[in-house]
Amino acid sequence: MTDDGAPAQAAVPIRVGLGWAMAGLVLLLVAASQTLAWVSFLLGVLPSWLWWLLEHGGSNGMLPENLGSVTGRALAWLAGVVVTLVAVARVARRRAARDRKVVAALGVAALLGLAPVLALTAPHGVGLTHNDTLRDFHTLRPALDEVAALVERGDLFGWYADLPASLEFVSVTGAVEVSSARDATSAMGVVVPQWAALVDDAGGYIYSPGGPPVGWDMYSLACEDPEPLEDGWWACAMRPVSP
């Protein structure tokens, strides 16, 4: 072997190891994307134009509304773990272990692989709980206020008003039900469903600054005993708010 050929041959294991490590990193980044997006949102560092990355994940009929994407991320996580393990095995046998880029890529991949696991095992999870009405309200509050502003400006109207892509995560259906004034004491408001039955009925947050939204239609289910939250927001057909 000549001296000129030695560096080129030595670089091959490094390129192969880096390729496997980067493939694992990309797959695990896809798997952890929802966790990273919700953490960024909760920290207030996710720009509103990137809110379309967030998913509601609540029950829409018999299945979660994001079942397809959840399945895709689970498969990406499984493939990412396998590819990363292959990369570790190749790096351990070859001189690529000496390359800092390979080691760094494997380190980041390992952290990304742990992110979804930690999110699933956290006491309250990451994002929406779908059990704690008040906690989820506070989580969604910045986006809920955006929805209320759209309604007040007249940009949303109708029984099934589709939300902009950046606000679809606020509603389990990706839409809201806008209600016009019913009498002189009530004002225009909006129903933001957090769960929906297979055909009719839903429950969620209602913006009704004019007073309690008793009797309001929630996709054919009348609101009864609404619970006040904050600043004209109410919860109806949701788990009782903890005292």
Q: Are 115 and 166 in the same domain?
A: no
Half-sphere exposure (CA, 13 Å, Cβ side) for 153?
A: 7
Q: Tell me the per-residue pLDDT of 185-221, one tens digit each, with 9 for 90 and over.
A: 445 789 999 999 877 789 999 999 988 999 888 888 8
Give residue 208's Cα distance to chain centre: 26
Q: Count of CB atoms within 10 A of residue 139's CB?
A: 17
Q: Are 93 and 156 in the same domain?
A: no
For the chain, the domain total comes to 2
Residue 162 belongs to domain spanning? 133-236
Q: Which residues contact 15 (CB under 8 A, 6 or more apart)?
A: none
Q: Are 103 and 166 in the same domain?
A: no
Q: Are 56 and 18 in the same domain?
A: yes
Query: How sure is the predictor about 12, in pLDDT bands with cuts at 50, 70 and 90?
Result: low
Domain boundary among 121, 141, 170: 121
Q: Are 11 and 69 in the same domain?
A: yes
CA distance 216 to 224: 8
Q: Are 16 and 101 in the same domain?
A: yes
What are the backbone angles phi and psi of residue 76, rounded to the nearest 5°?
-65, -40
Q: Count of CB atoms within 10 A of residue 36's CB?
A: 17
Half-sphere exposure (CA, 13 Å, Cβ side) for 192?
A: 29
Average pLDDT of the chain is 80
- Lowest-pLDDT choice from 60-64, 171-175, 209-213: 60-64
* 143: nearest Cα among 111, 117, 170: 170
Q: What percent of the chain has pLDDT over 70?
A: 73
87: left (phi over 0), alpha (psi -120 to 50) or beta: alpha
Q: Tell me the per-residue pLDDT of 40-58, one tens digit each, with 9 for 90 and over.
A: 999 899 999 999 999 998 8
Work out whether strand 217-218 and strand 227-228 pair parallel, antiparallel, or are unpaired: unpaired
Structural domain contains residue 114: yes
* 217: nearest Cα among 201, 240, 235: 201
Q: Tell me the per-residue pLDDT of 29-42, one tens digit each, with 9 for 90 and over.
A: 787 888 889 989 99
Q: What percent of the chain has pLDDT over 90?
A: 35
pLDDT of residue 119: 55
Structural domain contains residue 243: no
CA distance 237 to 173: 16
CA distance 22 to 27: 9
Structural domain contains residue 242: no
Q: Are 137 and 232 in the same domain?
A: yes
pLDDT of residue 159: 82
pLDDT of residue 243: 58
